[in-house]
Amino acid sequence: MSQQHHSTIALSLDTPVASLAGIGPKRAQALAERGISSVADVIAHLPSRYQDWRQRTPVDDLKPGIIAVLEGELSKIDERPMRGRGWRRLATGWLTVDGQRIRVVWFNLPAYMRGYMPRGQRVLVRGRVGVAQDGRLELAHPDVISLAERAPRPVRPVYRLPTAVGQRLFESIVARALPDLAQLIPNSVPDEIRGDAMTIGDALCYLHQPPDAANPAALQAGDSPAHRALAFDELFAFELALALEHRRSEERAGAAFVGEPTLTKKFAAKLSFPLTGAQQQAIKEIGADLERQQQMNRLLMGDVGSGKTVVAFWAALRAVESGYQAAMMAPTELLAEQHFRSFNRMCAGLGVRVTLLIGRIAGYERETVLEGLARGEIDVAFGTQAVIQQKVRIARLGLGIIDEQHRFGVFDRARLKALGATANVLMMTATPIPRSLAMSLFGNLSVSFLDELPPGRTPIATELRSESENARLNEELREEIARGGRIYYVVPLIEGEDDEAKSVANTATKLARAIREARIATLHGRMRSADKDRALRAFRDGALDLLVSTTVVEVGIDVPEATVIVIAAAERYGLAQLHQLRGRVGRGSAPARCILVASDDADEAALARLEVMRRALTGREVAAADLALRGPGDLLGARQTGALPLKFVHLVRDARMIEKARALAEQWLMRDPSLESAASAGARIAVRKMLTQGFSLGDVG
């Protein structure tokens, strides 16, 4: 079919972008990778920035670094290949403004400029002022709008798009879709609650095509009535979904743990340390919850190293002494094995039958284990989420514990279903989220907090270094090893996919050369499970001084004797992830250090972020900084997994709105408990979408 034919088709919200004029399979694919597959997705894809084209910059005010908007006449553009740059072509032209000539350059002319800007045309040009090699001012990669063609929007949206899709193309699709379709997007907030706030349709039009009078700085900051309307509408639906989920889980029957505390008592008495107050409190909350006939759905949040594992073990024993089985699931085999081993150590002599279910346990051995679980002859199973949830039948499963669940979907009904109809669920996470935010974001779960670290921990001294100082760093590491210290050295790559120098193997070789006496091993996700296990065990037992690893050590790994963690290319990680990595040390009583090494090409923003990390020591401080620095979608790694179905909400900016949305959602549900009324039509659609989204996330991450 020709493109012309396509463009006459009436659009609907469901129209696939692939069928739009100008969008071939390649562009459609690129857009789909960003979650834009339908016209509705296009409309929901808001500009990431706004350009201010209103004021003209006087030529005399031009100076390097500023963004200038100039009106003038454009000369013919010359293009020539750049030496040594393969296919790249340097395009140069001149803009005449009030009789003065200013050079404009592009490395590769934008497609829209090609054959589009006849010489002598009057144009508006906007770009950053730079200094050319000859010392004169120039504009590099400016945007150009022909004034003969149309008057530019004074406030122009800029979208975050794949390179295959140009701004103008996207803008034109938006322009085609908005007028007919924006008003068809349902409002989840009923009219009577919305009052005179903007509708979704009006808000989307406002943000895609800001009126001339709009304030670009406010738009850029996400501070407009339109932003607030979208955020509130989304939050309202989210809170409805949470409340409905909560109600449903309250109604679900759960295994009640009411056995005599034979095992849990012995366990507590055998512990080599007293429980912290926070641990005792969490155990009390969990114990009370487990006694009830309703299914427990509880989240245990605690900073890295706060001692969540002991609490989980307590809960597992509580299941066993009440006649049930328990399964503890971890995101990696490494962590599952660690839990299995710690449990055996801490619960030795209690007569609890345990098993480890990971890849390397196969064949006959595996069958025996599976049978034992199915017959109820094994009390506690340790394994990865993937294995236990998908392949294992556990006869009397009373409790599923999911450790390091920092990428969960909040409406993860698939997960619960996999665990069986009545199993209680305990999820554990070190994701730094402020308590109040957690309470409102996970309104469908009960939450316990471990907000206290075990005593005797010294804060982890965090230092920021640059790659060029590595020789000195190696010298310090040698001294550390001489003092008996143990070091994690985290690098971003297994093999040199894009940067050989930062691979595990290469780094290990370099360190072996620099610190000859060090006993070094490597650890990464592609190693055979037995080899991973051997490396980690050797490190734990002190047979190794230095472990060069990828971020597989990120979650949960517990070697209290480790004293230093070096994180190479630290700018590549988010704050929450860095905090997790840093938490690998400082788990014992010896002073610990975290050394963040910034790559030489790290940009200023990245360095600023690392500086924040250097100063923020507790999970709470990191959480606050992380929320302020990153968008809402980044929280919980949500951008990757869509864990929180919130596209428009900014958790810092909209913090106060959350409570209001919750209160109104609850009130609305009292009037219309099943969202059946006509006024709830929009809400019904939005809620169903959120719940399905969570559902399909069941096996992700």
Torsions phi, psi for 14 (to 5 deg): -85, -10
Task: Report the residue from 209, 309, 550, 577 that binds ligand ADP according to the rule CB under 6 A.
Answer: 309
Nearest to 315 by CA among 269, 351, 279: 279
Do the Cβ atoms of 545 and 486 come closer than 8 Å? yes
Could you tell me the smallest distance in angstroms from the CB atom of residue 287 to ligand ADP? Answer: 17
Query: Does the protein bind Mg ion through residue 142 (CB under 5 A)?
Result: no
Residues 445 to 464: which contact ligand ADP by CB under 6 A?
454
Output DSSP code: residue 190.
-
Q: Which does 306 bind (CB under 5 to 8 A by kind): ligand ADP, Mg ion, none?
A: ligand ADP
Of 317, 289, 314, 312, nearest in space to 302 by CA: 312
| Residue number, 556 or 694, with CB nearest to Mg ion | 556
Choose which of 259, 287, 372, 560 interacts with ligand ADP (CB under 6 A): 560
Closest CB 405 distance from ligand ADP, rounded Å: 12
| Structure tokens that stand for 397 in this block | 């499963």
Task: Indicate which of Mg ion, ligand ADP, none lies near residue 560 (CB less than 5 to 8 Å, by partner kind).
Answer: ligand ADP
Which partner in Mg ion, ligand ADP, none is near 307 (CB below 5 to 8 A by kind)? Answer: ligand ADP
At residue 198, φ and ψ (nearest 5 deg) are -65, 150
Contacts (Cβ under 8 Å, ≥6 apart) of 596: 462, 463, 464, 465, 567, 570, 578, 610, 613, 614
Residue in 194, 187, 189, 230 with CA at minimum distance from that of residue 665:
189
> Measured from the CB atom, is 43 or 594 closer to Mg ion?
594
Distance CA 328, CA 423 (A): 12
Query: What is the nearest approach in angstroms of ligand ADP to the Cβ of residue 452?
Result: 9
Name the one range near Mg ion by CB under 5 A: 197-205, 551-559, 606-614, 689-697.
Answer: 551-559
Please identify which residue in 400, 556, 632, 633 interacts with Mg ion, judged by CB under 5 A: 556
Q: Could you give phi then psi for residue 105, rounded to 5 degrees? A: -130, 150
Tokens representing 139 are: 């504009």
Of 64-72, 239-247, 274-282, 374-382, the segment contacting ligand ADP by CB under 6 A is: 274-282
φ, ψ at 275 (rounded to 5°): -65, 145
Q: Tokens representing 51?
A: 């350009």
- How many Å apart are CA 292 and CA 245, to the nearest integer? 18
Among all residues, whose Cβ is closest to Mg ion?
Answer: 556
Nearer Cβ to ligand ADP (80/345): 345
Q: Tell me, what DSSP letter sits at residue 503?
A: B
Instruction: Report if residue 273 touches ligand ADP, rule: CB under 6 A.
Output: yes
CB of 637 to ligand ADP, least distance (A): 17
Give residue number: closest CB to ligand ADP: 307
Query: Per CB under 6 A, does 275 bind ligand ADP?
Result: yes
Among 308, 502, 540, 584, binds ligand ADP (CB under 6 A): 308
Q: Is 561 in the site for ligand ADP (CB under 6 A)?
A: no
- 682 is an interface residue for ligand ADP by CB under 6 A: no
Q: Is 176 in contact with 15 (CB distance < 8 Å)?
A: no
Kindly indicate which of the ranges 122-130, 432-440, 553-561, 605-613 contains the residues binding Mg ion, using the contact rule CB under 5 A: 553-561
SS3 call for 450: strand
Residues in 569-628 that interact with ligand ADP by CB under 6 A: 587
Helices (H), 382-421: 385-391, 413-418
Largest CA distance in the chain: 93
Identity of residue 396: R
Which position among 305, 409, 443, 642 is part of the footprint of ligand ADP (CB under 6 A)?
305
Binding site for ligand ADP (CB under 6 A): 273, 275-276, 279, 302, 304-310, 430, 454, 556, 558, 560, 587
- Which residues of this protein are in contact with Mg ion, per CB under 5 A? 556
